[in-house]
Amino acid sequence: MDRKVAVVGVGNTSYTSAKRETRERTEVSADCIKAGFDFVGKGLSMDDVDSIFYASVDAFEGVQRPDRSMDCLGQSLNKATFFVHTGGTAGGSAFKEAYHSVKSGLCDIVIALGASTTSATVEAQQILNSASPPLIEKPFGAGAIHMAGYYLMRYKADYNITAEDFAMVAAKSHKHAVNNPYAHIRKGFTVEEILASPMVCSPIHLYEICPVSAGATCVIMASEEKAKELSDTPVWIKAIDSISNTFLAGYRPFTSFYKLEILAKRVYEKAGIKNPLEDIDYAELFNPFAGFELLEYEALGFCDKGDAPKLVRDGITDYGGKLPCTLSGGTLCTNSGISASMSRHAETVLQLMGKVEGGRQVKNAKTGIAHSWGGNMGQFHTLCVLSV
Amino acid sequence: MQDISYNKRFEYNWDVPFKVTLGESYFRFLDGLKNKKILGNICPKCNGLHVPARPFCDKCLVEITKWYETSGIVTIESFSVTYVKFLGLPDPPHITGIVRAENAVTSFLHQIGGIPYDEPKELDEKTKIGMKLKPVWAEKRIGDIQDILYFTPVDA
């Protein structure tokens, strides 16, 4: 069935440190949904919404099925609510499930909400470790940062990637986060400052690591008919898919984000993208550890293996370049858990709508992509192609 | 300055024990560790050696029944040196890595140790991808992945 689905609204709350968060957790989501309705305007309210897809990770929130506790999801209004949990990619997955519900014809207007997941978390790495395979991997205490270290150390060795290469892509995010009112870390760290920051887990410096943030993101999707009523700037979902890997480190070569390569081929084919560097105008990539962005350029076909640092050095992926990437500052500068994996989609939508604040608006962006990464040892990726 | 006087927290924790069923493959693998043996098993369809042993081949989705005792020597696929203290982890610096036994089709996570250094940062240079390592066994072994304390260079 050829039913088109558009994003018509984006909602963001302010973002802060999880430790400094003063809002109660349901307040954050309520504010976020309200921001989404305000964005659309036209009197849109929860009464008009068919379903809500809530993305989070139980263990971070300290409660099972945290969606149940969110009365702002229209529970008193008899709405259908769904909890989507695929770890770090849950935002991307909720976006996908929301899309399916409209695409199938079962719903006309839906919300996908990326929760402020980590504000109750005392020690994030402890929770991340609890997601590791208990018999074989958990005892060694690996959190997301260690997993990132294995990928980036191997990448460094295989292609002679330098510390400066990693710092440069980190500095790109920090530079743009300064101009993003919805970014948490807005310090504008330079390459020199990043290289001088402490090494946490080699080869990753402190300023190449995301913070633990608080804040939420949502998107409002609609069928073609409703989208045209609700928005002058609908952004259409052209293709979306996700991919999985084994729970154990298992078959992973750690030499690339090879699952993302497979996923990209699959999604590009559906969207008619033949030459990513030419056909894509904007990309929001999941970069909780700055070096990931380089691996993602290569997996997404922006360049050959080992050439990603050159794209950064040549400004190809910076503002004004051929394919600007992650001008929000990315997950590197704001990571409120699951919200961060939906922010990628929200930011791309805003870029395509021409509604990005802070002087980061890319001119004439017509096609964009949004990516998320998560799960044990990078078990899952999601990828979405959006266009005007 | 933001007023955070109402940033009050209610503290609670989960302290919930779990017991995971091992099944035959993991039981035999972990039991092997008690006897200082690192066991793998071989998929009857793709002939892939799986270490640690698996109940079934994740690629062919068939049961794996043929057992294989590895030499215990592993190769570093990748690693990361942790330089800061994390809750529940050993004092820094400590090294975790992804290692591969012989020509296994799978690799696994473990600790790497016994590499001498003067300054912690030297560990990044002295630990090398492709390095061969041997297991250092716990004196008292209970059938747990930590019966191997860590892997250390074969010439150490």
What residue spans of B7-152 are helical by DSSP H? 23-34, 123-126
- State yes or no: cis peptide before B52, omega within 30 of 0: yes
The answer to whether A250 contacts chain B (CB < 8 Å) is yes
Any domain includes B66: yes
DSSP string, A331-361: HHH---THHHHHHHHHHHHHHHHT---SS-P
| Residue B146 pLDDT exceeds 70 | yes
pLDDT value of position A348 = 98
Summarize pLDDT for A26-83 with one digit per residue, the tens: 999 999 999 999 999 999 999 999 999 999 998 888 888 999 989 899 989 999 999 9
Any domain includes B116: yes
Chain A residues with beta carbon closer than 8 angstroms to that of B81: 199, 201-202
Chain A residues with beta carbon closer than 8 angstroms to that of B107: 249-250, 252, 254
The answer to whether B77 contacts chain A (CB < 8 Å) is yes
| Residue B124 pLDDT exceeds 70 | yes
In angstroms, the Cα distances linking B92 to B26, B88, B124 are 31, 12, 13
Q: B11 phi and psi, to 5 degrees?
A: -100, 135
pLDDT value of position B4 = 59
Give the mutation candidate from A136, A155, A247, A377 for the B interface (greatest B CB count, under 10 A).
Answer: A136
Any domain includes B122: yes
Chain A nearest-CA distance from B141, in A, is: 15
What residue spans of A160-238 are helical by DSSP H? 163-177, 191-196, 224-230
A257 near A296, Cβ under 8 Å?
yes
| Residue B155 pLDDT exceeds 90 | no
List the Cα angle A248/A250/A256 in 5-degree steps.
110
CA atoms within 13 A on the CB side of A83: 15
Divide the 388 residues of chain A into consecutive groups of 10 and give the mean pLDDT of each group: 91 91 91 97 97 93 89 91 93 97 97 91 83 86 91 98 98 97 96 98 98 95 98 98 93 94 98 98 98 98 98 98 98 92 97 95 97 92 98
pLDDT value of position B112 = 97
Phi-psi domain of A297 (left: phi exceeds 0; alpha: psi -120 through 50; beta: other): alpha
Any domain includes B149: yes
Token look-up 């205490």 returns: A141
Summarize pLDDT for B63-109 with one digit per residue, the tens: 998 999 999 999 999 999 999 998 888 899 999 999 999 999 999 99
Chain A nearest-CA distance from B112, in A, is: 11
Token look-up 């719903």 returns: A107
* Closest chain B CA to residue A248: B108
Model confidence at B128, pLDDT cuts 50, 70, 90, reads very high
pLDDT value of position B111 = 97
The answer to whether A64 contacts chain B (CB < 8 Å) is no
Q: Do B106 and A150 touch (CB under 8 A)?
A: no
Any domain includes B17: no
- Containing structural domain, residue B85: 23-153
Show the tokens assigned to A44. 């849109």
pLDDT value of position A256 = 95
Q: Is B148 helix (H, G, I), strand (E, B) or coil?
A: strand
**Rounded Cα gap, residues A35 and A30, in angstroms:** 9
- State yes or no: cis peptide before A66, omega within 30 of 0: no
Nearest Cβ partner of B80 from A149, A246, A248?
A149
Nearest Cβ partner of B96 from A20, A140, A250?
A140
**What stretch of H or E contains B137?**
strand B132-137
pLDDT value of position B1 = 55
Chain B residues with beta carbon closer than 8 angstroms to that of A25: none
B132 near B74, Cβ under 8 Å?
yes
pLDDT value of position A80 = 93
**Rounded Cα gap, residues A258 and A337, in angstroms:** 24
According to DSSP, the residues that pair with B75 across neighbouring strands are B100, B132
Nearest Cβ partner of A201 from B20, B59, B82?
B82
Any domain includes B10: no
pLDDT value of position B2 = 59
Q: Across chain B, what does the average pLDDT equal?
A: 94
Any domain includes B73: yes
Q: A354 phi and psi, to 5 degrees?
A: 80, 30
pLDDT value of position B89 = 86
The tally of domains found in chain B comes to 1
Nearest Cβ partner of B124 from A200, A202, A253?
A202
The answer to whether A252 contacts chain B (CB < 8 Å) is yes
Any domain includes B44: yes
pLDDT value of position B26 = 95
Least confident of A119-133, A276-290, B22-36, B129-143: A119-133
CA-based nearest residue to A330, from A355, A360, A307 = A360
pLDDT value of position B88 = 82
Chain A residues with beta carbon closer than 8 angstroms to that of B124: 202-203
The β-bridge relationship of strands A282-284 and A367-374 is: parallel
Q: A273 phi and psi, to 5 degrees?
A: -90, 120
* Closest chain A CA to residue B107: A250
Nearest Cβ partner of A154 from B77, B108, B111?
B77
Phi-psi domain of B2 (left: phi exceeds 0; alpha: psi -120 through 50; beta: other): beta
Q: Do B106 and A22 touch (CB under 8 A)?
A: no
Q: Do A20 and B4 touch (CB under 8 A)?
A: yes
Chain B residues with beta carbon closer than 8 angstroms to that of A62: 12, 14
- Amino acid identity, position A98: A
Return all residues near A159 (Cβ < 8 A) that are at least 6 apart: A305, A306
User: Which domains does chain A possess?
Assistant: 5-123+213-235 (3.40.47.10), 124-211+238-387 (3.40.47.10)
Chain B nearest-CA distance from A42, in A, is: 34
User: Environment class of residue B139 by beta-carbon count within 10 Å: exposed (0-12), middle (13-18) or buried (19+)?
Assistant: exposed
Chain B residues with beta carbon closer than 8 angstroms to that of A142: 96, 109
Return all residues near A178 (Cβ < 8 A) that are at least 6 apart: A186, A187, A188, A329
Summarize pLDDT for A361-373 with one digit per residue, the tens: 999 999 999 999 9
